[in-house]
Chain A
Amino acid sequence: MTWPVRRRPRGTRIRRGPVGAARRPYEPVLRRRDWTLPPPASRHRELISALPDEPVEGRPPLLFVHGAAMGAWAWERWLPQAAEAGWAAHAVSLRGHAKSDAPSPLARTPLRYYEHDVLQAITELPSPPVLIGHSLGGLVVQHVLERYRAAPAGVLVGPVPPAHGLEVLGGLVRHDPAALAAALAGREPRPRAELLVGRDTDHAIAQGWADRMGRESSVAATQALAPRRPRDIRAPLLVIGGGDDRVVPPHAVSRTARTYGVRAHLFRGLGHLLMLEEDGDGALRFMLRWLEDTLHATGRLRASAPSN
């Protein structure tokens, strides 16, 4: 019989001492920063929804989380399609993005405030949702999945990696250093269209999306380069990406997938904003099929799927 003695897993503490004596923090149990300096409350959070005409019994809702400098609008192509396929689909705008207000200066907003926003959106849904995050939102979703263990599944779309963020940095430096500098400085990134989409998508349309982007928190963007790696995600994960993605390149997506012991699914010809690209519809169909299969396999699709 073996037993781990004394040396417990990293991040736990052993020392018994006076109140508040410095001990190694153990996220996500000891969330001291969230207790002492909680995220300022938002007055308005944008949540756009597309609901199916005939809901399929027992299916969890989907909650989409957008990436840097975007908003719930990033999912405007996928939401109605998901609803048509019988899924209740919701997309949240993080604080300071699109129509959600910024209760504190956006430039100094850390990632954990975004996690709070996603959790707040979750509590407004009738049952635990599948969390789908794109890019920076993919990183936020990884952290939320660590804290919110009731999620039946998670989907990461071209996610910012949970570590080795420099791979993303390298690509951006090569392809669009101006956008990167702007994002890190908290200005509107205004990236070049060809950075965002695959070769088949009209750059004029893509430029429209680029122009629609707002600002991003420079603190969050900086944190994303070297984030805290989530310790323990139990939800089934799907990791997908665009084969032509220049922001989070395919090898970075694959590496994220490997981190969680799954395989990445890369879609040829698609770029970073695959959920807005016409050819990205295939990725959505793939994702919904995967969800259906996974939820069946894990017994999460039962009519009265309650607390398990």
Chain B
Amino acid sequence: MDRDTLVIGAGSSGLAAAKNLGLAGFEVDVVERADDLGGNWNFAAETSRVYGSTHMISSKPFTQYPDFPMPDRAPDYLHHTDVLAYLRRYADHFGVSDRIAFATSVEQLRPLGEARDSGWEVALTGRDGEETRHYRRVVIANGHNWSPKLPSYPGQDDFTGEIIHSADYKSAEQLAGKRVVVVGAGNTGCDIAVEGALRADATYHSTRRGYWYAPKYALGRPADQVSDLIFTLGLPLRATQWLFEQTAKLVVGRYERFGLPTPDHHFLETHPIVNQTLLYHIGHGEIAPVPDIARFDGEVVEFTDGTRVAADLVVFATGYLIRFPFLDDDALPWQDGRPQLYRNILHPHRDDLAVIGLIQPDSGQFCLVHWQTVLLARYLQLVRDNPAAAAVWRQRAADRLDERSQGGLALIDSTRHLIEVEHLDYIQDLAADIAALDALLHDEATRHEVVA
């Protein structure tokens, strides 16, 4: 018997997908590999990549689901345990919890045909053993921050110390009393370097280029709120960047003084790094900034400037790969290391497969994911209720498949920005799509200029 809709993953994206597709009248089943919901935020799970001290890096209003605000009593930036509690309340409130099959993983997704709506054969392994089901449509929400991306340097295999990926970093205890090299200037890398400053014997922070380090607070308010306030001024992009750069210089001065490289790009042109304490610890001599690693040599790590330091532990905070282990490569239109999906959601050739949460915004994730799932729900409703109109909309979407919603920013070329979106640009692209789909769904097309 054909089942209706399967959502893979009960993390922040899967929960929103299940809730909003359910609201649109679809019968949703959710499968979750771990035995609790929360995905990455389910700290107890083996699949979680948060560490003991993880806090949000975007403040509440940007992060929360728009129809389910985070509680007033919570602080501006939630700790990961509070995020999990929030997700649990969200799932309970909207009745999603009852629809999740825990400890159930998807082994294989196989298309039942070439047509747009063929459906999928899903091979599952659950508590009751293996099972194969047929679903009319599948929504993938398996996350993209779990499969470690590991660099490789000469001599790495013969390094006498320990090498871990930040995926295996759980607590500052792991750094205690060690000489630590942290590689990568992402938010995780900076967090771990700061924890190293407090716990390790010595901390070296290796970064490939100079970055802009944004504070968590400005003018006594969460800095993302202030920066969006600046965006509302509607200044030209360069003027906005100049304003941010001058602010950075006003607050911390020149990065070179701290031994950090000069940023080789303008503000906003990399994924934001929000860390207020990194420079503080560098200034206190507790973190030594170093450039990229050149090679390993016994217990020594050599950097590209010739600096050699002895280390006990190297932490690669070098990010994650986009992976769908249950899906054949040709099931998604891969291009340049990412699946090329409309708005990072819709498959160009299929209506029975979509991906939710496959974005890395310069802002909060859940809010954007909410609107992703609303768009998906509206589109699937249109496919169900008015296939002809859906076909026309799809044609237009196909023409815009290469839109990346990056706000016209010249992001530096890095795998880190494969799925980067600029939140204001992206949310307005989603909003425009939702409005157009709404108009078609409610047969209001005649109100607007039309073509035959």
Chain A interfacial positions (CB closer than 8 Å to B): 1-9, 11-14, 16-23, 26, 28-32, 34-38, 41-43, 45, 116, 119-120, 122-123, 125-128, 147-150, 232, 304-308
Which residues of chain A are near B71, meaning CB under 8 Å?
120, 123
Which residues of chain A are near B408, meaning CB under 8 Å?
16-19
Is B66 in contact with A18, judged by CB distance below 8 angstroms? no
Which residues of chain B are near A29, meaning CB under 8 Å?
66, 371, 427-428, 430-431, 434
A20-B231, A232-B438 in contact; A306/B93 too (CB < 8 A)? no
Complex partner residue of B66 from A11, A31, A122, A128, CB under 8 angstroms: A31
Question: How far apart sit A120 and B22, CA to CA, in the bound complex (Å)?
Answer: 22
How many Å from the CB of B408 to the closest CB on chain A? 5
Question: How far apart sit A94 and B367, CA to CA, in the bound complex (Å)?
Answer: 25
Complex partner residue of A308 from B23, B62, B427, B444, CB under 8 angstroms: B23
How many Å from the CB of A28 to the closest CB on chain B? 7
Is A119 in contact with B231, judged by CB distance below 8 angstroms? no
Is A20 in contact with B233, judged by CB distance below 8 angstroms? yes
Contacts A19-B240, A119-B68, A307-B96 aside, 5 further interface pairs with beta carbons under 8 A come to A3-B389, A13-B428, A29-B434, A30-B428, A32-B232
Which residues of chain B are near A120, meaning CB under 8 Å?
69, 71-72
How many Å from the CB of B75 to the closest CB on chain A? 9
Question: How far apart sit A232 and B21, CA to CA, in the bound complex (Å)?
Answer: 18
List, sorted by A's number, 23 A–B pairs whose CB atoms are closer than 8 Å. A1-B388, A1-B452, A2-B450, A3-B389, A3-B392, A3-B450, A3-B451, A4-B439, A4-B445, A7-B448, A9-B436, A18-B240, A19-B424, A20-B228, A29-B66, A29-B430, A29-B434, A32-B228, A37-B225, A120-B69, A232-B438, A307-B19, A307-B21
Is A36 in contact with B228, judged by CB distance below 8 angstroms? yes
Is A306 in contact with B72, judged by CB distance below 8 angstroms? no
Give per-residue flags for B20-32: 1 if the beta carbon is below 8 A from chain A beta carbons, else 0. Answer: 0111111010000
Complex partner residue of B28 from A2, A20, A26, A307, CB under 8 angstroms: A307
Question: How far apart sit A31 and B95, CA to CA, in the bound complex (Å)?
Answer: 26
Question: How far apart sit A13 and B436, CA to CA, in the bound complex (Å)?
Answer: 11
Which residues of chain A are near B237, meaning CB under 8 Å?
18-19, 21
How many Å from the CB of B345 to the closest CB on chain A? 15
Which residues of chain A are near B445, meaning CB under 8 Å?
2-4
A20-B235, A30-B427, A31-B66 in contact; A14/B99 too (CB < 8 A)? no
Question: How far apart sit A230 and B150, CA to CA, in the bound complex (Å)?
Answer: 50
Is B69 in contact with A116, judged by CB distance below 8 angstroms? yes
Cβ of B130 within 8 Å of any chain A Cβ, yes or no, is: no
Give per-residue flags for B255-297: 1 if the beta carbon is below 8 A from chain A beta carbons, else 0. Answer: 0000000000000100000000000000000000000000000
Which residues of chain B are near A30, meaning CB under 8 Å?
424, 427-428, 431
Question: How far apart sit A4 and B443, CA to CA, in the bound complex (Å)?
Answer: 11
| Interface residue range, chain B | 35 or more
User: Mostly helix, strand, loop or mixed at chain B's interface?
Assistant: helix
Within 8 A of A (CB), among B313-331: none
B91 and chain A: residue at smallest CB distance: A307
Which residues of chain B are near A9, meaning CB under 8 Å?
435-436, 438-439, 444, 447-448
Cβ of B126 within 8 Å of any chain A Cβ, yes or no, is: no
Is A147 in contact with B66, judged by CB distance below 8 angstroms? yes
Which residues of chain A are near B448, meaning CB under 8 Å?
4-5, 7-9
Is A150 in contact with B450, judged by CB distance below 8 angstroms? no
Is A36 in contact with B225, judged by CB distance below 8 angstroms? yes
Which residues of chain A are near B66, meaning CB under 8 Å?
28-29, 31, 147
With contacts defined as CB atoms under 8 Å apart, how many contacts are there between chain A and chain B in the complex?
180
Chain B interfacial positions (CB closer than 8 Å to A): 18-19, 21-26, 28, 60-62, 66-69, 71-73, 89, 92-96, 98-99, 224-226, 228-237, 240, 268, 371, 388-389, 392-393, 396, 407-409, 422, 424-425, 427-428, 430-432, 434-436, 438-440, 444-452
Complex partner residue of A8 from B94, B371, B435, CB under 8 angstroms: B435
Top 4 A-B residue pairs of the complex, sorted by shortest distance between their CB atoms: A307-B22, A20-B231, A306-B95, A18-B237
Is A123 in contact with B450, judged by CB distance below 8 angstroms? no
Which residues of chain B are near A16, meaning CB under 8 Å?
408
Which residues of chain B are near A38, meaning CB under 8 Å?
60-61, 225
Which residues of chain B are near A304, meaning CB under 8 Å?
95, 98
Is B225 in contact with A4, judged by CB distance below 8 angstroms? no
Which residue of A19, A23, A119 has the most chain B CB atoms within 10 A of its CB atom?
Answer: A19
Question: How far apart sit A11 and B438, CA to CA, in the bound complex (Å)?
Answer: 13
A5-B451, A20-B235, A36-B225 in contact; A12/B67 too (CB < 8 A)? no
How many Å from the CB of A220 to the closest CB on chain B? 19
A16-B408, A38-B60 in contact; A127/B95 too (CB < 8 A)? yes
Which residues of chain A are near B440, meaning CB under 8 Å?
4
Which residues of chain B are near A28, meaning CB under 8 Å?
66
Is B235 in contact with A128, judged by CB distance below 8 angstroms? no
Question: How far apart sit A31 and B71, CA to CA, in the bound complex (Å)?
Answer: 18
Question: How far apart sit A35 and B428, CA to CA, in the bound complex (Å)?
Answer: 15
Complex partner residue of A20 from B18, B25, B224, B234, CB under 8 angstroms: B234
Which residue of A11, A29, A150, A232 has the most chain B CB atoms within 10 A of its CB atom?
Answer: A29
Is B436 in contact with A42, judged by CB distance below 8 angstroms? no
Question: How far apart sit A34 and B224, CA to CA, in the bound complex (Å)?
Answer: 12
How many Å from the CB of B405 to the closest CB on chain A? 10
How many Å from the CB of B101 to the closest CB on chain A? 14
Question: How far apart sit A99 and B407, CA to CA, in the bound complex (Å)?
Answer: 45
How many Å from the CB of B261 to the closest CB on chain A? 25
Which residues of chain A are near B226, meaning CB under 8 Å?
36
Which residue of B24, B230, B234 has the most chain A CB atoms within 10 A of its CB atom?
Answer: B234
Is B234 in contact with A22, judged by CB distance below 8 angstroms? yes
